[in-house]
Amino acid sequence: MNNLVLTEDEKDVLQELMNIAYGSATAVVADMLEAFASLSIPNIKIMTTEELFKTFAALKNSSYFFSTQAFSGEFNGESAFFINEESANNLAKHLELESRDDLDDAILELTNVLTSSLTTKLAQEMETEVSFSLPNILKVPLEEIEDVVTFQLYSQVIVIDTDLNFEDQKINGKIFILTKDESISWLKTKLNTILEQLL
Amino acid sequence: MAQNEAQHNFRTTSLEKKIVSAIDNGIIILDSDLVIHHYNKWMEIHTHIKEKDALGKKLTELFDTIKEKTLLRKVKTALRMQTPTFYTATTSHYLIPIKTNQIKNSFFSYMQQDVSIVPFDAQNQLVVLILTDQTNMANINALLNAHVAKIKELNEQLMREKELTEMQHKQLLANSRSAAMGEMISMIAHQWRQPLSLITTLLTNIKIKKELQTLDEANMESSLGKIENTVKYLSDTINDFRDYFKPNKVKSDLKLSELFNKSIFFLKDEMNQYNIEYTINIDKQLSIKTYKNELLQSIINIIKNSIDAFKNSDIEDKKIEVSIQEFTYHISIIIEDNAGGIDESILEKIFEPYFSTKNKNGTGLGLYMCKVIIYEHLHGEISITSENNGTKVAIKLPKKI
Ligand SMILES: Nc1ncnc2c1ncn2[C@@H]1O[C@H](COP(=O)(O)OP(=O)(O)O)[C@@H](O)[C@H]1O
Ligand SMILES: [Mg+2]
């Protein structure tokens, strides 16, 4: 569907909004972890689900923790957070965690923090509200991720992908914000209103 | 005091108060030092602690299993971000230890909880903890996981067994083939006995004549000619056998009368040797479309069994009778003998691989192979019955496969 493709202008606006959002997310994450954290400038792409799987596949050469969190509202979708084992272990060390469950919990917290700070800010700028479901760790091996039903609901996804880095901590992760067709068209309308105000 | 203020803020309407106490969730209001500012009815009931005893205390004081550092972090993050933070039942299991005494949720001895920490009052740095009982769900999950694991295990077992039977099946077929080969060699030996002795005779004659110096050109010519013909016959039989004993890849139109002639050609020496009378009742033109060599091998196996059965018997008029009938979509082949029949007690077993009553002379693979060929390759049926001291083999084949 052609009307689901973002124009260059629309992409620019979205990028601007994301830049604002990731700035505040960085601060919150740094606060939570009591360490200096940085997020890379988010990279915005619209891709088909197959392309997304390819992107996921590229991540799977090392073993990963993978968590997701759904958000709802006019702007709705799901976020997917990847963190590799080494980073997860460093995170555990940094937070002085004792068990695997504690580590899972910390990863979920990170997922929640990243998802909500990114999307809340984005929603605010677009004058809407989002609410968040509980995040969960997917215990699915990455090879089988294509079978995960939720992903098959997405024909097209907006992928907002950013790397999380704690330079001295050697912790990095990758978060994808995924939204589907109806949200994409809602987003387009919103982006255009913002665009018109700018002109 | 700040505590009273917060309570006042919170209890603005009696409607909200009623909802909060009636709701099927645990609700606790905490400040950023984890001090309790509200403790709803649900909490009172489930923890056996009254609100009046909880107010003003730190939550970690009431429940020393709570990891203070983690809770503080979550509360601070919620307040800082102004969006909820969570504990999930799947990873954290529970925040507030509440014993469950339910038989149905047998996996867990403590209530499994999802906890949302929702920013409530930014100015006073208050958050609401909302506890949801997820024990049922967690229990179902645990059950499901146990089942999934079991199913995976069973599935793997099934796959292994399937592989094994497939291997056994292949091995059996390979064995059947070498058994068929063995039978073929013994049949060739039969076929060759006569022509070989003819050649020996001719050669001996030539030798004697040469000794006696009576060997002339014409003599030599005619003997060599006979030898040549016989050798050709020998190589023809080899070719015949070879052609007929490799499986067909394509099905062909097949005249049944010719097929039976061919089978008898391979077996006639032995039938003559034991004085067996062979008759066939068939429409000479009747033909079907099928795999020729597979059917031929089955027929030979069956007639060979009849011949074998006559070997140790003193029956007077030994007979093998074949009759073939045509129906709309199929044909039926009946092969009958009067060689004594098959004992009721073993009738069930004769199609089993390696079942034989012939000691070293039988492989027990003949009928097994017939069954595999007829059912799996030719899409037909085979059954064997025995009465009146005779055996009756009935084969049903589709006219076309
Ligand atoms: N026409 C028959 N008359 C009597 N017994 C038979 C006949 N055909 C088969 N059988 C019995 O069935 C058994 C199995 O036959 P088969 O599978 O061909 O193996 P084999 O011929 O090597 O013994 C034979 O050993 C024999 O006991
Ligand atoms: Mg046999």
Quick: pLDDT tens for A120-137.
878 888 888 888 888 887
> What digits encode the pLDDT tens for the residues B141-170?
888 888 888 998 999 999 999 988 888 888
B319 vs A110: which has the higher pLDDT: B319
Which of A28, A105, A116 is facing B91, going by the closest CB pair?
Answer: A105
pLDDT band at A36 (very low <50, low <70, confident <90, very high): confident
Does a structural domain hold residue A133? yes
Size of interface A-B (CB pairs under 8 A): 56
The reply to whether A133 touches chain B by the CB within 8 Å rule is no
Cβ separation A112–B85 shorter than 8 A: yes
Q: Does residue A51 form part of some domain?
A: yes
Q: What is the pLDDT of residue B28?
A: 96
Is the CB of B130 inside 8 Å of chain A's CB atoms?
no
- In total, how many domains does chain A have? 1
pLDDT tens, B355-393? 999 887 788 888 988 998 899 889 999 999 998 899 999
Q: State the first-to-last Cα distance of chain A, in angstroms, to the nearest integer.
A: 27
Q: What is the mean pLDDT of residues B210-233?
A: 88
Distance of CA A142 to the CA centre of its chain: 17
The answer to whether residue A126 is domain-embedded is yes
What CA–CA distance (Å, rounded) separates B188 from B172?
A: 24
Chain A within 8 Å of B252 (Cβ-Cβ)? Answer: no
Q: Given this model, what pLDDT does residue B149 score?
A: 87
| CA pair distance B349, B351, nearest whole angstrom | 6
A75 within a domain of the structure (yes/no): yes
Domains (range + CATH), chain B? 2-137+183-238 (3.30.450.20), 249-398 (3.30.565.10)
Residue A198 lies in a domain: no
- Ligand 1 site residues (CB inside 6 A) read B 301, 305-306, 309, 337, 339, 342, 350, 355-358, 362-364, 366-368, 391
Kindly state whether B388 is in contact with chain A, defined as any CB-CB distance less than 8 angstroms.
no
Residue B356: nearest ligand to its CA?
Answer: 1
Helix (H, G, I), strand (E, B) or coil at A71: strand
Rounded distance, CA B382 to CA B288, Å? 17
Residues spanned by the domain of A116? 2-192
Question: Could you tell me the CATH number of the domain that includes residue A100?
Answer: 3.40.1550.10
Write down the pLDDT at residue B138. Answer: 87
Q: Is the pLDDT of residue A1 over 50?
A: no
Those residues whose beta carbon sits under 5 angstroms from the ion ligand 2 are: B 305, 366
Asked whether residue A197 is assigned to any structural domain, the reply reads no
Cα B230 from Cα B19, distance rounded (Å): 109
Bigger pLDDT: B99 vs A59:
B99
- With 60 as the cut, is the pLDDT of residue B313 above it? yes
Out of B176, B300, B350, B386, mutate this one to test ligand 1's pocket (max ligand atoms within 8 Å of CB): namely B350
Indicate the SS3 state at residue B40. Answer: coil
pLDDT of residue B103: 67
Cα–Cα distance for residue pair B106/B110, rounded to 1 Å: 10
**ipTM above 0.85?**
no
| A118 within some domain | yes
Residue A132 domain flag: yes
Average pLDDT over residues B123-145: 90
Confidence grade of residue B289 (pLDDT, cut at 50, 70, 90): very high
